DNA sequence: GTGAAGGGCCAC
DNA sequence: AAACGTGGCCCTTCAC
């Protein structure tokens, strides 16, 4: 494909590009940067294309003269970027939005992201790749040469080949969008796509904002855990080597406590009936009879704390900001949940000792809000179960109310054990829990577990019916959808019982977990509109929780805004039960 | 040495 | 018989 492009290097060229493009509906949009991290490099090129004509704007001559955020010569460029129309079509728009925000000081408004769209269309197919070359090939059947992608974009003079490459990446987006939209419409994914596109800028900003971690506090905590680990490791070592007394005569008893095979052998030597796997929940029931098992679990806990949440977390603090800037994948799971990495900020231990290290800097506050029981409320809404809905409408402690209903006693007569059974089932049903697992986790016998589950589903007939129907539909339709229309395609062979069983559990879980993700994404969009222009910054999200940082003086107001955005988003999807959001202002990331 | 797979554990 | 969903990261083991 020959493409027509012009290289823009001066104020007049920028103005001409603006004049020619501002009235368009859609523009292909791309940037080329000298690094992958906006805190470490510069934007070299910004490209726009209407499909016929492509403008490649070289920012180097401008950057040499002054501040890209304020210089009048770039005002038309900034205006084009933050105008909601034309829609900017980009592949992984978060990347470009971060650079534009950090270096040009404006939001990219009006985003169509072909990466997110491609992921939605793939509907959970893990084999599909979503880089631009693959996506262009899949939807347009063209081969893109990406070899210039990693070329030197800081050179004084860019080569013709580089400029051509840059122009082409933008030019192709207009045609790509058309094909992608066809598929989105065909698959009923337009609403889900809008939900995703509206999150791009908030997430870009969250990554730029980062989350403040008090490094000194973290090190203190780490020291404590290290001391514990040394002690626990020594005790475990001694307990395990009791089973290999002979070997100890030759001084070769040192067991690698991190080696699951060595530990399993040692446990067997001690006469412990080791289950097929030594995962915590399998081992848990043995801890009472075998102190060594309890010690092993204790050891694994502290070992995990040291390895995953130790020094390595501090290495992610960016010197330029003194904060953690995780990567967030917007469609991290097929359900639409986010995932986070480098570091994974969504798996910080819940214990206060860890969480208090994440705090508001001087003069700031954290505003923290999470949905209360959102997945169960979604299930109540989907299933239309009378008793389940009633349990939410009372507004009292949910697990106590369900226990009262299930065991047919007054709420004030519910025992701690009954509440615990109800709680575990309430959590378990959204995953498709079975009696065996329920028995294992509660210590009930198989028949007792079955009996309790019968009581539970007998109380919640509508819920049972919905879950069964979800499982049935997955087998017949081989797709599942969330409230926004987000889709998952199931692939299993006829008669593969294991795969079908897994699909059935997925069929129960996907709409619930996925709708929860829909709601959070909707909330992010509503929130973004409200906090723009305030001191509030998005700093973290954890599936059903949103954390902002803002000026202390403004925190009361921000707290109300956050709570309202989350409630409003929830109420768009959940109608039959109240949506409850717990919001509070804090100095540290604690409840 | 490097990378993938398996097992394990953290979050929701 | 039986297995409770979604992620990321760490360690060991094993093959190359």
Q: How far apart are the first and last CA of chain A?
A: 57
Q: What is the pLDDT of residue A249?
A: 47
Residues 6+ apart with CB under 8 A from A288: A294
User: Number of C-alpha atoms within 13 angstroms, CB side, residue A97?
Assistant: 27
pLDDT tens digits along A280-315: 777 877 888 888 888 888 888 888 888 888 888 999
Angstrom CA distances, A411 to A377, A397, A402, A543, stand at: 20, 9, 9, 30
Q: Protein A172 CA to nucleic acid C7 C1', in Å? A: 33
Would you state the pLDDT for residue A304? 85
Position A282 scores a pLDDT of: 78
Q: Which pLDDT belongs to residue A67?
A: 95
Whether any strand B atom is under 7 angstroms from the Cβ of A543: the reply reads yes
Query: What's the rounded Cα separation, in Å, for the pair A173 and A322?
Result: 37
- What tokens were used for A569? 């988003």
Tell me the domains of chain A and their CATH numbers: 4-187 (3.30.420.10), 215-308 (1.20.1060.10), 326-374+517-586 (3.30.70.370), 375-513 (1.10.150.20)
Nucleotide nearest A436 (Cα, C1'): C2
Residue with tokens 């409850």: A580
Residues of chain A with pLDDT under 70: 1-2, 243-253
The sign of the torsion formed by the CA atoms of A288, A289, A293, A299 equals positive
Q: What is the pTM assigned to this prediction?
A: 0.94
Judged by C1' against the alpha carbon of A274, the nearest nucleotide is B7
The pLDDT assigned to A402 comes to 95
List the nucleotides on chain B closer than 7 A to a protein CB.
6-12
Residue with smallest Cα–C1' gap to B10: A347
Nearest CA to the C1' of B8 belongs to which residue? A279
What's the half-sphere exposure (Cβ side, CA atoms, 13 Å) at A179?
Answer: 15
Q: Which nucleotide is nearest to A339 (CA to C1')?
A: C7
Q: How many CB atoms lie within 10 A of CB A172?
A: 26
Alpha helices by DSSP H, A59-92: 60-63, 75-82
3-state SS string over A122-173? HCCCCCCCCCHHHHHHHHHCCCCCCHHHHCCCCCCCCCHHHHHHHHHHHHHH
- Model pLDDT, residue A468: 95
Residue A81, phi then psi, degrees to nearest 5: -70, -40
**Backbone phi, psi, residue A333, to 5°:** -125, 155
Q: C1' nearest to CA of A276: which nucleotide?
A: B7
Cis peptide before A343 (omega within 30 of 0): yes
């Amino acid at each position: 494909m020959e493409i027509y492009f012009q290289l823009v290097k001066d104020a007049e060229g920028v103005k001409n590009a603006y004049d020619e493009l501002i009235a368009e509906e859609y523009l292909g949009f791309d940037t080329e940067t000298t690094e992958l991290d906006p805190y470490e490099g510069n934007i070299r090129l910004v490209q726009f294309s209407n499909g016929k004509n492509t403008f490649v704007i070289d920012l180097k001559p401008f950057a040499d003269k002054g501040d890209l955020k304020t210089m009048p010569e770039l005002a038309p460029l900034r205006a084009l970027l933050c105008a909601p129309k034309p829609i900017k079509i980009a592949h992984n728009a978060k990347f470009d939005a971060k650079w534009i925000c950090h270096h040009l000081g404006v939001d990219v408004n009006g985003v169509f992201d072909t990466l997110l769209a491609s992921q939605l269309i793939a509907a959970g197919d893990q084999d599909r790749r979503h880089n631009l070359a693959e996506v262009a090939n899949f939807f347009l059947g063209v081969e893109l040469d990406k070899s210039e992608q990693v070329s030197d974009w800081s050179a004084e003079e860019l080569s013709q080949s580089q400029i051509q490459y840059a122009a082409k990446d933008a030019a192709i987006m207009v045609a790509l969008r058309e094909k992608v939209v066809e598929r989105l419409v065909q698959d009923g994914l337009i609403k889900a796509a809008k939900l995703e596109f509206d999150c791009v800028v908030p997430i870009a900003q969250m990554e730029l904002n980062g989350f403040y971690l008090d490094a000194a506090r973290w090190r203190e905590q780490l020291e404590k855990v290290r001391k514990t680990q040394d002690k626990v490791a020594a005790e475990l070592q001694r307990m395990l080597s009791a089973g290999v007394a002979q070997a100890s005569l030759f001084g070769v008893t040192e067991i690698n406590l991190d080696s699951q095979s060595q530990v399993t052998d040692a446990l067997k030597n001690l006469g412990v009936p080791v289950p097929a796997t030594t995962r915590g929940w399998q081992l848990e029931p043995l801890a009472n009879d075998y102190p060594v098992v309890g010690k092993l679990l204790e050891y694994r806990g502290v070992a995990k704390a040291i390895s995953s949440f130790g020094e390595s977390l501090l290495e992610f603090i960016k010197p330029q900001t003194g904060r953690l800037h995780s990567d967030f994948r917007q469609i991290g799971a097929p359900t639409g949940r986010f995932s986070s990495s480098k570091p994974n900020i969504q798996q910080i231990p819940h214990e206060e000792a860890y969480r208090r290290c994440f705090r508001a800097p001087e003069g700031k506050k954290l505003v923290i809000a999470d949905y209360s029981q959102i997945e169960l409320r979604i299930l109540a809404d989907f299933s239309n179960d009378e008793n389940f809905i009633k349990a939410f409408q009372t507004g009292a402690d949910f697990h106590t109310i369900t226990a009262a209903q299930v065991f047919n006693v007054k709420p004030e007569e519910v025992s701690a054990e009954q509440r615990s059974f109800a709680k575990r089932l309430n959590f378990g049903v959204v995953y498709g829990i079975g009696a065996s697992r329920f028995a294992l986790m509660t210590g009930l016998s198989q028949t007792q577990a079955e009996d309790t589950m019968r009581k539970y589903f007998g109380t919640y007939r509508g819920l049972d019916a919905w879950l069964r129907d979800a499982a049935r539909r997955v087998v017949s339709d081989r797709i599942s959808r969330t409230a926004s229309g987000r889709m998952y395609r199931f692939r299993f062979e006829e008669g593969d019982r294991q795969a079908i069983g897994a699909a059935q559990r997925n069929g129960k879980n996907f709409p619930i977990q996925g709708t929860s993700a829909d709601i959070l994404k909707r909330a992010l969009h509503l929130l973004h509109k409200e906090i723009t222009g305030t001191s509030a910054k998005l700093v973290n999200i954890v599936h059903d929780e949103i954390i902002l940082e803002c000026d202390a003086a403004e925190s009361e107001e921000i707290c109300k805004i956050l709570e309202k955005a989350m409630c409003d988003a929830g109420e768009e999807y959940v109608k039959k039960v109240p949506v409850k959001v717990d919001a509070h202002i804090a100095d540290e990331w604690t409840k």
